[in-house]
Amino acid sequence: MSLVVVLVILLLTWMYFNIRRPPGTPPGPTPYPIIGNVPILIGDVSPWTIFKSMTFKYGQVFSVKFGSFWTVVINDHEHAHEALLTKLNDFSGRPYSYNFNWYSENGKDIAFGQPSPTWKLHRKLAHLAIRQYTTDNLETLIGEVIRKIGGVLSEKAGNPFDPKEVITLAVYNVIASMCFGKSYEFNDPELLEFIKISDERNNALGNGTLADFIPAARFLPSTSVNTFRRVSLELFAIILKEVNRHLKAYSPDEPANDLIELLLKTQNDEMETDNSDSKLTDVHIKQIVSDLFIAGTETSTSTLLWAVACMIDNPDVQEKIKKELDDVIGDRPPQLSDREKLPYTDAVIMEIMRYGTVVPLSLIHCAIKDSTIGNYNVTTGTGVIINAWALHNDSKYWDSPEKFKPERFLDSTCTIKQHLPSYLPFSTGRRACVGQALAKAQIFLIFTWLIQNYTFEKAPGVTGDVAIEGIPMIVTFTRPYQTVAHSRY
Ligand code: HEM
């Protein structure tokens, strides 16, 4: 009897400490033992919408426990600014994730690596490759890609089709060219393999597996984890094949033409000049290329799908863009230097990225030292989620945020507004998106060309809006939709 009493007391004490919120930390719902607050996310509603609705009870900053991990959720611009910029040294880590730690070989990439001199060098190299590629090669490549899109669209013109295939092929072509220096035909088996891998990976992972939240679940068999590992290995195999091809063909004395060449050249220079521990091993090279590939393809594809959907739902906006393009550039292909002469088109792209926030919860950060957000304590190791979707739908900053209104980004002289506090599609601070410049440039070039050359309409029988959020994921797409494209020329 006394043993039972002792066991019950021990169990109750464990439960008390398991669910107790650390003192001074942000308020939030009481967690269950072991699973924490995971049940709040079960259902049809997206996590970012649930988090925003929780602000009415707990305030703009609250905490939840996912399995065994405490996480602070920030829902407004003021606290996001504090975490990402004012206290960037405190919150620039990434939390441990079972799947992504395996994938990144313990954070040897950029997106899941912890801040360190090595990680900083990798970010710098990625920036350099992206900047060089965007300035030197992007317009030429997009010219080729556009010809291929034109071929596919002229076959589909006048009939309903899903634009996902053609947009995916265009974006993958651009990123593969930046990474590998190759341009692909739309039916190239390797390009189709990348897309298959990416789809399988997303379906397997969704918003994380049980093993990411509950350590004990790592010992259970999981089809999701197995699929994720299999397709990741397939992606690594393609990347390694490309690295080996480059190793045979490139010369360290020539200027680098793509990301792999730049990384190999840096590795070569490092070996010649530096005897300290290598900051750019073969594993790092594989990881950096894989990061840019994954981070660069899904986000831009999703944004362009939101873009076409928003144009179908808002034909008046589509007409205004066409008029601006006709007046400013006529029928020649758009160039990057046109952007500043096209403020309305620019405002539309910005509104697309607000309205269809494609990375709604950004990527989760982690406190790397004890710190504070607002009046609350945040202890080392706590996850920090910036709810970018809530920032983009904050009625304090956006008039009728549920409406698609590009004019909100223009001032009274029709110039793009410079100060946009509650707008963070690419995040900011130490971990801000590395590919921002490339993403903006390729989205501008592909989107303006599409609207200049085609009018997108609802497919027959479709009623209601098509720019509607699909299954909630780290990168969130629209629901699949059909459109009819009419050629303008
Ligand atoms: C519309 C397109 C894109 C959007 C909306 C987007 C958005 C984001 C966001 C919100 C983050 C998380 C930042 C944070 O943790 O605070 C991120 C990280 C990242 N993005 Fe992008 N991104 C886009 C395109 C790209 C492209 C084209 C590339 C590269 C080719 C890229 C590479 C990366 C990388 C490597 C990171 C991790 C940065 C780090 O952890 O330090 N992204 N992006």
Q: Average pLDDT over the chain, rounded to whole?
A: 91
Q: Which CATH superfamily is domain 90-362+405-487 in?
A: Cytochrome P450 (1.10.630.10)
Q: What is the DSSP string of 229-263?
A: HHHHHHHHHHHHHHHHHHHHH--TTSPP-SHHHHH
The closest-lying atom of ligand 1 relative to the alpha carbon of residue 123 is: 41
- CB atoms closer than 10 angstroms to residue 375: 8
**179: closest CA among 289, 297, 295, 299?**
289
What is the spatial order of strands in the sheet that 61-66 belongs to?
A: 61-66, 69-74, 383-386, 365-366
Kindly report the length of the chain.
489
Q: Quick check: CB of 431 below 6 Å from ligand 1?
A: yes
What's the 299 CA to ligand 1 centre distance in angstroms? 8
Give 308: exposed, middle or buried? Use CB within 10 Å, 0-12, 13-18, 19+: buried
Of 299, 351, 423, 444, the one to substitute when testing ligand 1's pocket (max ligand atoms within 8 A of C-beta) is 299
Position 277 confidence tier, pLDDT thresholds 50, 70, 90:
low
Closest C-alpha to ligand 1, atom 15: 363
Residue range 354-358: average pLDDT?
97
**3-class SS of residue 224:** helix
- The burial of 216, by beta-carbon neighbours within 10 Å (0-12 exposed, 13-18 middle, 19 or more buried), is given as exposed
Q: Given this model, what pLDDT does residue 1 score?
A: 66
Mutate to test the pocket of ligand 1, among 389, 433, 440 (most ligand atoms within 8 A of CB): 433
**Number of alpha carbons in the 13 Å side-chain half-sphere of residue 98:** 23
Q: Which of 26-30, 134-138, 463-467 has the lowest mean pLDDT?
A: 134-138
Ligand 1 near 174 CB (within 6 A): no
Measured in Å, residue 295 CA sits from the centre of ligand 1 at: 6
**How much distance in Å is there from the Cα of 289 to the middle of ligand 1?**
14
Long-range contacts (CB closer than 8 Å, 24 or more residues apart) made by 241-245? 242/179, 242/180, 242/289, 243/282, 243/285, 243/286, 243/289
Is the C-beta atom of 363 inside 6 A of ligand 1? yes
Q: Is 10 exposed, middle or buried (0-12, 13-18, 19+ CB in 10 A)?
A: exposed
pLDDT in tens, 166-215: 999 899 988 988 888 888 888 888 888 888 888 888 888 766 666 776 77
Please, are residues 234 and 87 in contact by the beta-carbon 8 Å criterion? no
With residues binned 3-state (H G I as helix, E B as strand, rest as coil), the percentages for the chain, rounded to 5, are 55, 10, 35
Determine the distance separating the centroid of ligand 1 and the alpha carbon of 435, expressed in angstroms. 6
Range with the largest mean pLDDT of 16-30, 107-121, 150-164, 379-393: 379-393
Report the distance separating Cα 350 and Cα 361, nearest Å: 18
Q: Which residues make beta-bridge pairs with 392?
A: none
Determine if ligand 1 sits within 6 Å of the CB of residue 455: no
Euclidean distance between CA atoms 139 and 142, whole angstroms:
5
Q: Assess whether the C-beta atom of 354 lies below 6 angstroms from ligand 1.
A: no
Instruction: Output the furthest CA–CA distance in the chain (Å, rounded).
Output: 88
How many other C-beta atoms lie within 10 A of the C-beta of residue 382?
24
DSSP code of residue 334: P
pLDDT confidence of residue 9: 83
CB 359 near ligand 1, within 6 Å: yes
Please work out whether the CB of residue 356 comes within 6 Å of at least one atom of ligand 1.
no
Å from CA of 134 to ligand 1 middle:
16
Average pLDDT over residues 292-320: 96
321 ligand 1 Cβ < 6 A:
no
pLDDT digits (tens, 9 = 90+) for 45-75: 899 999 999 999 999 999 999 888 999 999 9
Q: What was the pLDDT predicted at 278?
A: 64
Give the H or E element holding residue 142.
helix 138-156
> What are 435-438's contacts with CB under 8 Å, separation 24+?
435/126, 435/130, 435/292, 435/295, 435/296, 435/299, 437/130, 437/131, 437/134, 438/130, 438/133, 438/134, 438/138, 438/174, 438/178, 438/296
How many angstroms is it from 434 CA to the middle of ligand 1?
6
181 lines ligand 1 (CB under 6 A): no
Is residue 377 classed as helix, strand or coil in its secondary structure? strand
| Neighbouring residues of 131: CB distance < 8 A, sequence distance ≥ 6 | 437
Q: Which atom of ligand 1 is nearest to the CA of 365?
A: 15
State if residue 434 touches ligand 1 by the CB under 6 angstroms criterion. Answer: yes
Q: Is the pLDDT of residue 305 over 70?
A: yes
Average pLDDT of 28-51? 90
The DSSP annotation for 52-114 comes to HHHHHHH-SEEEEEETTEEEEEE-SHHHHHIIIIITTTTS-B----HHHHHHTTTT-SSSSPP
CA distance 338 to 443: 13
- Judge if the beta carbon of residue 173 lies within 6 A of ligand 1: no
Query: Which tokens hold the place of 225?
Result: 């984890």
pLDDT at position 264 over 80: yes
Tell whether the model's pLDDT for residue 275 goes beyond 60.
no
Using a 10 angstrom Cβ sphere, with 0-12 exposed, 13-18 middle and 19 or more buried, the burial of residue 128 is: middle
In the prediction, which pLDDT does 484 show? 96
